[in-house]
Amino acid sequence: MSEGLEERKKAGVAREYRDDRISVYWAPQLCIHTANCLSAEPEVFDAGRRPWIVLEGADADAVADAVMRCPTGALSFTRHDGGEDEPAAEEVTVDPPGTVRSSFAAACASSTARRELPGR
């Protein structure tokens, strides 16, 4: 097996999807597959496609908004175009079978809860 493939399969290895406007990071160990990102921007996020994130599908603000809908922080972003960066992440742990523990998780009792960008 190639070393690159082994690296991809290590627990905690996040993937980065980048263009000149924004970078989106995916931490698969935190993903609980709520599909909020897919619903928000289906041209960007498509679980049946490889790569599953194609940033050219929407403007950077729309991508950032879709990322902020991720309840566990499995998706995060950094802006390169001068747009507002994501607020600093808080520590999140996932206890099997999918129980999310963080101060943010308490706010997720409602299906409408989402992380908020300051000023939005």
Comparing CA positions, the residue from 71, 83, 81 lying closest to residue 116 is 71
Domains held by the chain: number: 1
How would you label 33-46 residue by residue, b for 16+ Cβ within 10 Å and e otherwise? Answer: eeebbbebbeebbb
Flag whether pLDDT at 10 surpasses 60: no
The whole-number pLDDT of residue 87 equals 84
d(CA 10, CA 116): 30
- Residue 83 placed within a domain: yes
Flag whether pLDDT at 65 surpasses 90: yes
Which residue do the tokens 């902020």 mark?
68
Domain encompassing residue 47 = 3-89
d(CA 42, CA 119): 25
Question: For the chain, what is the mean pLDDT?
Answer: 78
d(CA 19, CA 8): 21
The domain spanning residue 17 has which CATH number?
A: 3.30.70.20
pTM confidence score: 0.66
Band (33; pLDDT cuts 50, 70, 90): very high
